[in-house]
Structure 1
């Protein structure tokens, strides 16, 4: 069995599996699961099904996608993950009320931490991400938080450009409808919020945008990725074989040069509401 940690304030219930890359793997609001989780790999108690978790490296076709909410370094083409045996699939330690911290990663020079704060009697929580340069050399990375969700309409706070980064995704005026595709949009014109409207629950993420900073992927503080099952693994994505219809809301921090011992942080506020009150 793997260790599972829970935070519960009577309105929200958050479930974490430190051994699986420090992921938030359950977010229950008003009795409803909000996140997408791979039901073929984990049961409702967040225990593995039919396999023993272990760190994984290789191509996208080798990635074990458990789902949930996780943190990676960007730009992706410089990180070459996922999969990744330390930051994505390695075990994280737990401290405080709930701070999840990775092992030091010699490839990126980073140690990542994810600090969750759940307030009493609130349908919201706060996530603070930190990346520390633990290497003896300067490194240059951005924090990149990925929240995997079931199919739903996505609304983006927008005041400017939208760029197609991968594939083709239908969108108009900051609205991305439900669709079967594989692709990603970048939002250089993000105003610092994104809302996913699921079947019964909406999830809004709010974050600061530094207009003078450099962001990955054509200057995108926010990206939205869609995937759906395909007839065969996608060769141009390293053999990725989408297990389901998935929406990813991805919040990014500025690309930052870190001297040894320096850190960069990214704060995200999550707000949940029932659809009839959204």
Structure 2
């Protein structure tokens, strides 16, 4: 058994598993699950199925993808995860109402924290991400929050370019339709919001874009990743074997050089509604 922390205000019910990389693994609105969760690995009570969670390293083919909402450091090609034995798959501690904090990671020099605020009677919540340099050297990273969702149409607030980062994903005027593909788009022209329309519910994320800052991946404060099951593991993605049709809405902060003891923060507001 792993410890599960629930927040419930009568409209939203959020379920967190600190032992699984500090993930938000359930977000329920009007009886509907908003997030994608790997039903072969975690049950409806957010307990692992058929295995004991442990820190994992290796290639993408070794990654244990539980789903949900999690935070990583970017750029990915410098972090080299997931998997990652501390920031992705290591246990986080839970404190207050509710802060999830990673162990210190000597390789990146970071400790990550995720602070959730759920207000009474609201169909929204706030997430504040913090990356602190716990090393004795300067480090340069961006915060990168990844929200995994079921298939749906994605609308992006856009006032500028779109770039293909990996593979091929169709996008027209900031609208990404449902499609079976593997790939990622970056949005240097993001205006600071993205909405995913699922079958029953919508999820909007709002964030601040600093137009004077440098962002990873061709200057992208927002990225959208789509994956779908393939005939065999994808060799050019480290053996990644997509378990399902998944959409990722990924919000990034600016690349920031942190002296020892300094921190960078990224704030995201989540709004949940119906699709009718």
Q: TM-score higher than 0.5 here? A: yes
Instruction: Show CA shifts across 1:167-219 (max 9, x none).
Output: 00011000000000000000000000000000010000000000000000000
Question: Residue in 2 aligned with 1:22?
Answer: 22
Secondary structure of the residue aligned to 2:270 is strand
Q: For residue 150 of structure 2, what is the aligned residue in structure 1?
A: 150
Q: CA deviation at 1:275?
A: 0.7
Q: Offset at 1:104?
A: 0.1
Equivalent residue for 1:102? 102
Q: Show the counterpart of 1:231.
A: 231
Within 5 A, what are the aligned runs for 1:177-192? 177-192=177-192
Give structure 1 stretches of 5+ with no counterpart: none
| CA deviation after TM superposition for structure 1 residue 29, in Å | 0.3
Root-mean-square deviation (Å) = 0.2
Q: Which runs of 5+ in 2 are unaligned?
A: none
Match of 1:208 in 2: 208
What is the SS of the residue equivalent to 2:236? helix
Q: Distance in 2 between matches of 1:229 and 1:32?
A: 24
Report the equivalent of 2:267: 267
- Partners of 2:230 and 2:97 lie apart in 1 by 41
Q: Could you say which residue in structure 1 is the equivalent of 2:172?
A: 172
Q: Deviations over 1:23-79 (max 9, x none)?
A: 000000001000000000000000010111000000000000000000000000000
SS in 2 for 1:71: strand
Give the CA deviation at 1:271: 0.1
Please state how far the C-alpha of 1:272 moved relative to its aligned partner. 0.5
Query: What's the CA shift string for 1:130-179, capped at 9, x where partnerless?
Result: 00000000000000000000000000000000000000001100000000
Task: Give the secondary-structure state (helix, strand or coil) at the position aligned to 1:218.
Answer: helix
**If the length of structure 1 is used for normalisation, what is the TM-score?**
0.99
Structure 1 match to 2:121: 121
